[in-house]
Structure 1
């Protein structure tokens, strides 16, 4: 499915991997509805990109906030005439915490809920609302394709580190729901592709200390470096354009396996 003259929603699109995806879609001639919590950054981004981009301040833990952004996006689609062809659910948080802290206290449910509500609930809520509109598209390809969903999991879904129980649970769930979601949406011609990146350059990984970064480099195979945002966005583009990618989880990790200890 082509990107040019089609509309795509990207959550978490004002920074990091989401920003690279937005820029890639835009440079390919696509129209982008950027969702993020950072209104200032989002507004500046739209100023840079021009008329083929809009920004909406969205809290993905709020169904009402998502509903409002979907409504505004579809109103924009109505004006441009460029169908909503895809959604990239990239909004996510880490918030590391061990099951029992150094004082012997268990992890708080507030900490667990914070991660699950953004990474899992927010993803599901965003996707369910978007695919209802994509399903009404006229076929966009000879195969009858009407849209594509790109989910973002993580290498933590498979080899999470200490302190990543909540994060791994959320990203493992995203990986696990890929195939059943693809099966649910197959009758509408909507594909589902999940990307599971390892250590990539992003706002989240920028907080890593030098010691932790050096420890992670020891378990990197090749290349021995963090992934670059444009390498992630290139895989997103492939997920959109290659119709045979469906119901699958793609590890984007350079053969890296996360260690049990730093």
Structure 2
């Protein structure tokens, strides 16, 4: 797809992978709208790249609709959607406390929360963005639009406590090909990236010894991923017109251990 002059929406664009992608797209001449809940960081990134910030909760229909309305008023209908909004938690399915013997299970409301954000929130933005893309003409390069979703290596090798997170990300992987097939006759492509362990703000909060141990577990290169490397792949998935229906790990060849 021709990038220069087109419009994009990046969910979760206020920090981490989303912010890096917003910057990378803007550097290619794309007009970027950032969807996020963090207004302070979102406004800062938008000002930096000449974009627009939209306060959006991806679990809420009205909030997402309002975000797309604001983004399109500023930049026109987007041809690019990058979904980076997401979160995680950690609870064992069922467990026994070593000292007290008390038995507990995964809080069902926490399982549902992760599914609603990571899976339903992603699909909500995909469906609404794709519907908007259908109003556009096909470009000279044969493209009408492109969508890139974010899963995780946990979709394939989730660790202890990651039942909800792994389920949500595996589902994002699972819907990639069906959505690509749904939209194939409309010249809209869909791909998904499965990042490994990346040096995001969330990871920055971890102690140095934890980050060093995680970096050492990556086969090669033995370091955490750089958000710019995610952004580079996302941009290539937009640019390369033959990239469609794919789920690609970006992880330094790591395979996550049980814990």
The aligned residue for residue 137 of structure 2 is: 138
> 1:58-73 counterparts in 2 under 5 A?
58-73=56-71
Gaps of 5+ in 1: none
Mapping of residues 65-144 of structure 1, within 5 Å: 65-78=63-76, 83-101=77-95, 102=97, 103-142=102-141, 144=142
* SS of the residue 1:224 aligns to: coil
Deviation at 1:152, TM superposition (A): 0.3
Deviation at 1:75, TM superposition (A): 1.8
Q: Which residue of 2 aligns with 1:173?
A: 171
Alignment of 1:158-197 (within 5 A): 158-197=156-195
SS of residue paired to 2:69? helix
Work out whether residues 33 and 46 of structure 2, in 8 Å CA contact, stay in contact via their aligned partners in 1: no
> Displacement, 1:206?
2.6
Q: TM-score, normalising length from structure 2?
A: 0.94
Assess if the C-alpha contact under 8 Å between 1:221 and 1:254 holds in 2.
yes
Cα drift, residue 181 of structure 1: 0.5
Contact in 2 for aligned 1:12/1:18 (Cα 8 Å): yes
Deviation per residue, 1:72-111 (Å, 9 max, x gap): 2222234xxxx51110111000112211243421111111
Given that residues 96 and 164 in structure 1 are in contact (C-alpha distance below 8 angstroms), is that contact kept between their aligned partners in structure 2?
Answer: yes
Assess if the C-alpha contact under 8 Å between 2:3 and 2:29 holds in 1. Answer: yes
User: CA–CA distance in 1 between the matches of 2:169 and 2:186?
Assistant: 26
Contact between 1:135 and 1:189, CA under 8 Å: does it hold in 2? no
Match of 1:224 among 222, 225, 229: 222
CA deviation after TM superposition for structure 1 residue 46, in Å: 2.3
Q: Find the counterpart in structure 2 of residue 237 from structure 1.
A: 235
Contact persistence 2:31–2:75 (CA under 8 A): no
Aligned residues: CA RMSD: 1.4
How far does residue 157 in structure 1 lie from its aligned partner after superposition? 0.4
Q: TM-score normalized by structure 1?
A: 0.93
Where 2:66 maps in the other structure, the secondary structure is helix
Deviation at residue 30 of structure 1 after TM alignment? 0.6
Deviations 1:117-138 (A, max 9, x none): 1100100001100100111211
Q: Which runs of 5+ in 2 are unaligned?
A: none
Q: Deviations over 1:183-211 (max 9, x none)?
A: 00001000001000000011232343445
